Amino acid sequence: MLKENRGFIKYLLLCLITLGIYNLYIVHQMAKEANLADPTPGAKNVGGLLFFIIFSVLTLGIYDLYWYYKVNEKFAASVRAVNKKPRLTGGGWLLWTLIGSLIIIGPLVAFVKMIHNWNDSNASYNARHR
């Protein structure tokens, strides 16, 4: 059973307390659970934490955008597998992050929606594997 009750406030507090180390744990969990929950046959896995760190540094942060796009696409595919509409897709995440930066809170909205989408994805995975 995958965890279905992650929240943004808890994430934010733990990131502040651990000086950002908790975010690395979240990236690891997100990659692992997105790859597990994706019902698409033959889908490529998203890279894990080490891959994320190395390529983010090498591409000066551009890989971050691609990685989060792919993770959100996997979450959306998992939610669609149980005939529900996902709260966020990879494209929606990019729009909220890039265009939403113009209104300052866009990336924050994108992250909150992504956490809810992650919970929905895990719930749909759990429903398919009971």
pLDDT tens digits, residue range 91-121? 999 999 999 999 999 999 999 999 999 999 9
Quick check: is 82 in a domain?
yes
The pLDDT assigned to 48 comes to: 94
The answer to whether residue 34 scores a pLDDT higher than 90 is yes
Contact 130, 2 (CB under 8 A): no
Please give the tally of structural domains in the chain: 1
How deeply is 90 buried, as exposed, middle or buried, from its count of CB atoms within 10 A (0-12, 13-18, 19+)? Answer: buried
Quick check: is 28 in a domain?
yes
The pLDDT assigned to 117 comes to: 96
Distance between start and end Cα atoms, the chain? 9
The pLDDT assigned to 127 comes to: 93
The answer to whether residue 58 scores a pLDDT higher than 90 is yes
Query: 107, 113, 123, 126: which is closest to 8 by C-alpha?
Result: 113
Quick check: is 2 in a domain?
no
The answer to whether residue 130 scores a pLDDT higher than 90 is no
Quick check: is 1 in a domain?
no
Residue numbers of the domain that contains 108: 8-128
For residue 102, the 8-state DSSP code is: G
In the chain, % of residues over pLDDT 70:
100
Quick check: is 3 in a domain?
no
The pLDDT assigned to 29 comes to: 97
The pLDDT assigned to 98 comes to: 95
Contact 75, 61 (CB under 8 A): no
For residue 12, how far is the Cα from the chain centroid?
15
Quick check: is 54 in a domain?
yes
What's the predicted TM-score (pTM) here?
0.93
Tokens matching residue 101 = 């930066």
The pLDDT assigned to 63 comes to: 96
